[in-house]
Amino acid sequence: MSRSQPRVMPVPAPYEDTLEVKPDWLDANGHMNVAFYMHAFDDGGEKFFRDCGIGWDYTREGEGSIFMSNCDLDFRRELFRGDTIRVTTRLIDWRPKLVHTWQAIYHRDDGYLAATAEMLFVHIAFADRRSAPMPVATQARLAQVEQVHHELERPENLGRKIEIR
């Protein structure tokens, strides 16, 4: 492969990370608090964002970042202190300024689905704190990820609407 051709890295399908439910993640109900589900989704999704060039290292460099603009959480089962969880992240769609993801938290040992999160992120340039296209290399990687993740089965609750029936 020549230096002028981009190196194509394998795409995880989906991206995965493993975390443990910490004692300070619990609430008065004795289970994982809603705020820490967001924390777990954030930490668990870092492999995806870092691979695409827009992880926390990118943010620390000071050019820009991605901000969550919309999120839908769906809680299925409780998680407790010391549970080991597996967080999966997949790309649903993207545009030069936007990234649409779907994540799931599973109990690693028992295998059950504990929660899902569908999120929309917007890329922001720190110079003016407005939306801006992501770096070209990020867009190229997102295109590669999209090709692989498009083949995954569609999540059952993707695009769900909250309502009382």
**Domains along the sequence of the chain with CATH:** 15-148 (3.10.129.10)
pLDDT tens-digit series, residues 99-128? 999 999 999 999 999 999 999 999 999 999
Token code pair at residue 76:
């299925």
Cβ count near 141 (within 10 Å): 21
Whole-angstrom CA distances from 28 to 23, 33, 57, 80 are: 12, 9, 35, 12
Low-confidence ranges of the chain (pLDDT < 50): 1-4
